Amino acid sequence: MARRKRWSDFSPAAKSAILLGAIAEVVATTIAMRDLMRRPASEVRGRKRLWVLGFVVQPIGPLLYLCVGRRRRFARASTPAG
């Protein structure tokens, strides 16, 4: 059985990559969660509670929400009456 690597076993480049990945996951999840909480349910594809559960699946959940979970906001065109 292979021995589990410890943090000290990783090279400086590997440590940097791991830290950057972790930071990217936290940022993506924070952005997605903030958007989900502020967006009305009518502008979300699916149920909000399911999206929150989906955010646990890192990094796919938050990225999936940001790419396909939100409905586009369209500005209403003003038309002259008459």
pLDDT of residue 34: 97
CA distance 33 to 29: 6
43 close to 71: Cβ distance less than 8 angstroms: yes
CA distance 59 to 52: 13
pLDDT tens for 21-75 read 999 999 999 999 999 999 999 999 999 999 999 999 888 999 999 999 998 776 5
How many CA atoms lie within 13 Å of 30's alpha carbon, on the beta-carbon side?
Answer: 6
61 close to 54: Cβ distance less than 8 angstroms: yes
